[in-house]
Structure 1
Amino acid sequence: MDTAAELESGAGDRREQPASSATAVSPVQQLSLWPPPRSSRHNGRRRRQVIASVAISLAVLLAGGGATAWALLGDDAGETPEQAAAPAEEFVGSWAGEMVQVDTEGDHVADWHAEVRIEEGAERGSTAWTTFSCSGTLTLSAGDNNRRVYVYTETADPEERCVDEAELTVWPVADRDGLRAEWSSITREGTRMISTGDLS
């Protein structure tokens, strides 16, 4: 039988033994899983910088939009689109004139005579390129203020000297009767040609 001293000695021995792993305190459990709090010293300044940047961006956008609206409205602010656009009657009729043709480099290619007839309503017409013995129909494709744009579709080309399709843009000549004409076409070889002249 153990004496009281031996029991105390045995109890001391048990205390000196390491604790089991099941009851050991892990150092990881004592670490914080949350990041340390951030300093709020600069938050106010950042917020003010962001607000200032947004305000400047909005001011620039509004100023640009106002300038664009002013430029678009400008002198025609009191006119409706119908009043600003040239009436169809200004295009209706039979017109003829000499065209000067240049290539994409601006080099002279040819001079030729064109006759244009625009029917009532200015939506359809016909044309003859008498110098080349070609003719075709005109169909309105667009209208913008004083301009009318027609698609030319070839109907006759006995000498095969003309393009199958072209675009004719006409607008009234200021201070006198007549139309300014611009023909745009692409040759079979892929070269863009521009012809301009006055029709009267």
Structure 2
Amino acid sequence: MDAAAELESGAEDRNGAAAPSTSAVPVQQVSLWSPPRAVQGSARRRRRITGLAVGTAAVLLIAGGAAAAWALVGGDAEDVPDAAVPAEDFVGSWAGEMTQVDTEGAHVADWHAEVRIEEGAERGSTAWTTFTCSGTLDLTATDNDRRVYTYTETADPEERCVDAAELTVWPVAGGLNAEWSSVTREGTRMVSTGLLSDGS
């Protein structure tokens, strides 16, 4: 029997008898058509939103990791805030014994220094009583817990002192650590270190 004829006239039943003829009805088992546009668009949007969310999360994760790594290695000095000691920790009158050495580290002299740092810790004065010298201090730099002052001589009646020096101080238990650095008239670099205690 012809398949097209069977579809039009009907099919035989199990006993081989012809089934009654009905009008032709198309068979709808599998749709070969794509889903309606509304369904396609929403699926596409879901995929796009999911992709954007995953991409954004990846970017944030990478940026967070880079920021953490930058914080661990230190980054640019300008971007990292100083853990500076407050100016008040430097203000006051201080005094102590200094030990002076030359470029090779050989002992040169021991001498007594008195330092006064004014309110704001930007200026001060000093007297090197052992050598009867005195001068002014002006803040030139800060570096975390350290302050650097330029010493300018104002009195040296016996001409035993240098005209200029650099004083670096930083707080420690019991006072301020002090380091004086200077170059003599002959060109020899001298460094004096010691502890300045509260001299008030």
- TM-score category of the 2 structures, normalised to the smaller one: 0.5 to 0.7
- CA displacement, residues 150-184 of structure 1 (integer Å, 9 cap, x when unaligned): 000000000000000000000001xx230000000
Q: Which residue of 2 aligns with 1:179?
A: 176
Give the SS at the match of 2:114. Answer: strand
Shift in Å at residue 80 of structure 1?
Answer: 4.3
Give the SS at the match of 2:140. Answer: strand
Aligned-residue sequence identity (percent) comes to 79
Shift in Å at residue 140 of structure 1?
Answer: 0.2
What's the TM-score, normalizing by structure 1?
Answer: 0.60
Give the SS at the match of 1:70. Answer: helix
Give, in whole Å, the separation in 2 of the partners of 1:71 and 1:105: 35
Shift in Å at residue 67 of structure 1?
Answer: 6.7
Match of 2:193 among 162, 182, 196: 196
The structure-2 alpha-carbon separation of the partners of 1:69 and 1:106, relative to structure 1 and needing over 3 Å to count, comes to same
Letter in 2 for 1:70: L
Give, in whole Å, the separation in 1 of the partners of 2:88 and 2:149: 16
* Structure 1 residue ranges (4+ consecutive) displaced by more than 4 angstroms after TM superposition: 66-69
Give the SS at the match of 1:182. Answer: strand
Letter in 1 for 2:181: S
Give, in whole Å, the separation in 1 of the partners of 2:125 and 2:168: 14
Q: Which residue of 1 aligns with 2:131?
A: 132
Gap regions ≥5 residues in structure 1: 1-65
Gap regions ≥5 residues in structure 2: 1-67
Letter in 1 for 2:89: E
What's the TM-score, normalizing by structure 2?
Answer: 0.60
The answer as to 2:93 corresponding to 1:116 is no
Give, in whole Å, the separation in 2 of the partners of 1:97 and 1:68: 42
- CA displacement, residues 59-118 of structure 1 (integer Å, 9 cap, x when unaligned): xxxxxxx97752327xxx9x943xx11000000000000000000000000000000000
Give the SS at the match of 1:131. Answer: helix
The answer as to 2:73 corresponding to 1:71 is yes
Give, in whole Å, the separation in 1 of the partners of 2:81 and 2:74: 13
Matches within 5 A, 1:1-200: 69-72=71-74, 80-81=81-82, 84-173=83-172, 176-200=173-197
Letter in 1 for 2:111: W
Letter in 2 for 1:181: A
Give the SS at the match of 2:157. Answer: coil
Count of aligned residue pairs for this structure pair: 128
Give, in whole Å, the separation in 2 of the partners of 1:68 and 1:195: 38
